[in-house]
Amino acid sequence: MQQLLALIGCPKLPPQITPYVYSRDELQRLLDATDWFTSRSNRLQGLTYRSLLLLLYATGLRVSEALGLCLADMDRAQRMLTVRESKFYKTRLVPIGEDAFQVLSRYVDRRCRELPMPHGASSALFASRSGRPLSYRRVLTVFHLVRAEAGIGCPPGEHRPPRLHDLRHTAAVHRVISWYQEGKDVQQLLPRLATYLGHVNIVSTQRYLHMTPELLHEASVRFAQYAALDACEENDDA
């Protein structure tokens, strides 16, 4: 068997995709570019994709999780989303920040007024003009157009442009950067981030935390603070 494997050779794995972390300027350009997709036949289309992109960044949801949401999954009183039976068949509650909640609420109000609701409160949150859930393929196609309209191309040294899924990476990295800037204990908070993202363990979450220049800077600042504190304690003991 080993001789046979050596003869035919092992299949080559596709090159590993380098996750991309969008800058805040790029995020704003993506959101602004959705205005280009408002049409006479579907005046809600631009707001639909703007709300979807903002939700993906604000919550770190998987694209499939966001597209699987129905209207009843949004609890406005608690500012909470219920993500049902996602990866690993688990259901979890995901809180929504104030800014994202306001945008999403405005979208939901218009969605309920202007688009069909074939299944009542169980109808798709993000819907086409027929009221049916947006398809994953359609969303990816529109995102490619939005990304091009936003002027975001291939990063230096890469052969493909940033993906829609990279909004999830961006959400994780930006959250950790914010914790560093707020002086919080990041190591203690990482398990909470893992739960928020729907990961079964912290190892999966750590794969999302790529050392961007901004994250490296904040980590270096925190290390310098610890080093200075240790030096002060040593001087006090001398």
Which percentage of the chain shows pLDDT scores above 90? 50
**Phi/psi zone of residue 132: left (φ > 0), alpha (ψ -120 to 50 degrees), beta?**
beta
Measure Cα distances from 46 to 14, 141, 214 in Å: 34, 14, 31
Q: pLDDT band at residue 143, thresholds of 50, 70 and 90?
A: very high
Task: Kindly report the pTM of this predicted structure.
Answer: 0.79
Which amino acids are annotated catalytic?
A: 62, 87, 165, 168, 199, 208
Q: pLDDT band at residue 43, thresholds of 50, 70 and 90?
A: confident
More confident residue, 57 or 159: 57
Residue 18: its pLDDT value, please? 74
Q: pLDDT band at residue 53, thresholds of 50, 70 and 90?
A: very high
Q: Fill in the DSSP letter of residue 185.
A: -
Backbone angles phi, psi at 81, to 5 degrees: -110, 140
Tokens of 142: 């529109």
Q: pLDDT band at residue 11, thresholds of 50, 70 and 90?
A: very low
Does residue 235 have a pLDDT over 80? no
Q: Where are the alpha helices (DSSP H) in the chain?
A: 2-8, 24-33, 45-59, 63-67, 98-114, 136-149, 166-181, 186-197, 202-206, 213-237
Does residue 118 have a pLDDT over 50? yes
Residue 196: its pLDDT value, please? 74
pLDDT digits (tens, 9 = 90+) for 152-163: 999 888 889 999
Residue 178: its pLDDT value, please? 86
